[in-house]
Chains A and B, each alone.
Chain A
Amino acid sequence: MTTTEQSPDSKPPSDYGTHPGAAANHAFKWVSTGAGSLILITLAAVATFLLMEAWPAVSMPAAELGESVSFIKPEDGQSLLEIIGFLVYGTILISVIALLLGTPVAIGIALFISHFAPRRLAQGLGYLIDLLAAVPSVVYGLWGVAVLVPFLQPFYQFLADYLGWIPIFAPPESGEVFTGRVALSAGIVLAIMIIPIISAVSREVFLQTPKLHEEAALAMGATRWEMIRMAVFPFGRSGMIGATMLGLGRALGETMAVLMIISPGLTFSSHILQPNQHNTIAAYIALQFPEANALGVNSLIAMGLALFVITLLVNMLARWVVSRRSEFSGAN
């Protein structure tokens, strides 16, 4: 990230006190500072709320909590901490499936739009992708459960029949994949949901590649693919990572689609073709909230806190990766 260098004798902007636009400049400064701090205040308020509301459940002995909250069963290996463990695992598993399936497709779409498609087609496609990003998740959920899940079931059976020896594709006990409401389906629907975000951001980044770099690569005899590898990808790498993290953020926090599609369970199982094995934090909270008593709500908020922490970690990681990469991107 290079900024325009200031020569030593240039004054900082705030010193232009007598300039006719000084008042507006001042106001703008305060408005933008206010907006910036509002984010920090909101974040702090959310964190405080989560901590305070989660505390009664977290501080209580497991056995006692189990007695007053119906969904916490320490005697069945489902104490609050264990449930959080299962849910964190399920959340990450399903999000990773979504990222693995979604990112390559999204990058492909972005490249097609930015470098391969005829201009007119590219514009239309770009609009379409942006539109897809705005579809509410409940619509994806309904479509997933009504259309996609029944459609995928025979395909899952095929996977289980021929690749069932790989643990993740192991079918249920009977050998028959009797339902498509499994983690893989949730992952696929999430992948479809995050594709528009990732490809919309990546497309913008790819379009920023300096023409000079691209033409230089082509002039040196590179094929188009080599040009993309040599000029576009290095330039867009931090942008792609940022886009992927945005997508991951959406996948991690997605509630409705997962809630409607998955047949939930609490295990550390790797069998993504079996129902009743996985659930995500957000979907679990939505499942239990309506009937939860006061302590139950506290427990659910503790799970929300876990999700909050994961999301923060993911974003910090992304920041770190982006900042490390930018030095070598060759974009400057």
Chain B
Amino acid sequence: MKAFTRSGVVLTAAVLSLSLAACSASNEEPPAGSSESAASTSEAMTELAGNLQGAGASSQESAMDAWRAGFQSANPDVTVGYDPVGSGGGIEQFLAGAVPFAGSDGLLAEEEYTAAIERCDGDGGALHLPMYISPVAVIFNLEGVGSLNLDSETIAKIFNGEITKWDDDAIASQNEGVELPSTNITVVFRSDSSGTSENFTDYLEQTSGGAWPYEATKEFSTEASQSVGADGTSAVVDTVTSTDGAIGYADASRAGDLGTVAIKVGEEYVAFSPEAAANIIAASPLSDTANGENDLAYAIDRTTTDSTAYPLTLVSYHIVCAQYDDETERALVTSFEKYVASEEGQAASAEAAGSAPLPADLSAQITAILDEIAAA
């Protein structure tokens, strides 16, 4: 009961912030004063001042709040703003020159790369920096079972209602020694439009070998007759917690005491962990469309067989220009992004949003790239 009340409060807060976000999303004008600055000194690095405005993916919203707070307390003269209009809207505003950086769950399309060359100073175009890595956990509520091994095909069949009992052979054969009850499986899914659903269905579509008949989408759909939709992460976790035999998916940071699924990667079963989630980046190649080696646009390889990686992971980027002619703007963007990529910044987002911190070498690589971002 107590636990519920607390998550209820979180839910309420989430709903409130969503509706606030909705208000701002309906405002189609780009935020004003995106890169105005009061600083005129040439040593902007030491005395940063001004207003830095970003827009984009709502998945990064709570992480962004933490980064904003951390960066502003280190640089009291800087104001950072972020409008969580969604990845598409953020890229649109970035390309229109309304914001100096965008947050995005996906990569720029080819024509967007071209548009970015136009938009950015010089001819370096735009760069992706992976800043926010968040594993998605498959959670379940079965008394006495804390962890299960499942391959993607079985997960897809469970979520689409082809497997309806917990003691089904497909589950039992992968979990020898685990006593499975014959409880009915209740599938719990996000009824709202969400990036978590998109990542989960993308994973299922790519890896289940056809067992998942739908495309990757933000709106979860299922044939399972015993299924319940819930609005938002908190509601999904609450519903799974209160339903015996329920299975669902949620940001890993919210899994709590629920049982979690170790998913099959290659020949082994991998449980989610910050390290494994971060490893998916190392296991993935750069996208074919990437704009040179400084553009860390990864084609996340969900089908990887590298069993140190957890492929059911959301990777979200900051998209910046390779060159900013305005020195103040450059200083603001690069120092903010350096803070975000730093150990401190990643720790802040890990605490606030439950994301997985960037591996140290990736963090160092991003810092080096940021150092190369030039001013005219």
Residues of A that sit less than 8 Å from B by CB: 70-71, 138, 142, 145-146, 150, 172-174, 176, 178-179, 181, 256, 259-260, 263-265, 275-276, 286-294, 297
Contacts and interface: CB of A to CB of B under 8 A. Distances in A.
B184 A290 contact: no
Contacts, number: 95
Contacts of A292: 25, 86, 193
Contact of A291 (B28, B193, B230): B193
A71 B15 contact: no
B187 to A, nearest CB: 10
Contacts of B58: 290-291
Contacts of A260: 11, 231, 235
B96 interface: no
Interface of B: 1, 4-5, 8, 11-12, 15, 18-19, 21-22, 25-26, 28, 58, 86, 88-89, 164, 184, 186, 191-195, 217-219, 225-231, 235, 238-239, 242-243
Contacts of B186: 178-179
A306 to B, nearest CB: 19
A263 B193 contact: no
A174 B22 CA distance: 39
Nearest to A146: B4
Contacts of B164: 174
Contact of A174 (B88, B184, B238): B184
Contacts of A276: 227-229
Contact of B242 (A138, A150, A287, A297): A150
Nearest to B217: A70
B12 A142 contact: yes
Given A71-B218, A176-B184, A176-B226, 16 more contacts: A70-B193, A70-B217, A71-B193, A71-B219, A146-B1, A178-B228, A179-B186, A179-B243, A259-B231, A260-B235, A263-B229, A263-B230, A287-B191, A290-B25, A291-B193, A293-B86
Nearest to B194: A291
B243 A178 contact: yes
Contacts of A290: 18, 21-22, 25, 58, 192-193
List 3 A-B pairs, minimum CB-CB distance, nearest first: A291-B193, A173-B225, A263-B228
Nearest to B86: A291
Contacts of A289: 18, 22, 25
B223 to A, nearest CB: 11
A264 B191 contact: yes
B86 A178 contact: no
A73 B29 CA distance: 29
B184 A291 contact: no
B26 A297 contact: yes
A228 B194 CA distance: 55
Contacts of A259: 231
Contacts of A286: 19, 231
Contacts of A172: 225-226
Nearest to B23: A289
A287 to B, nearest CB: 4
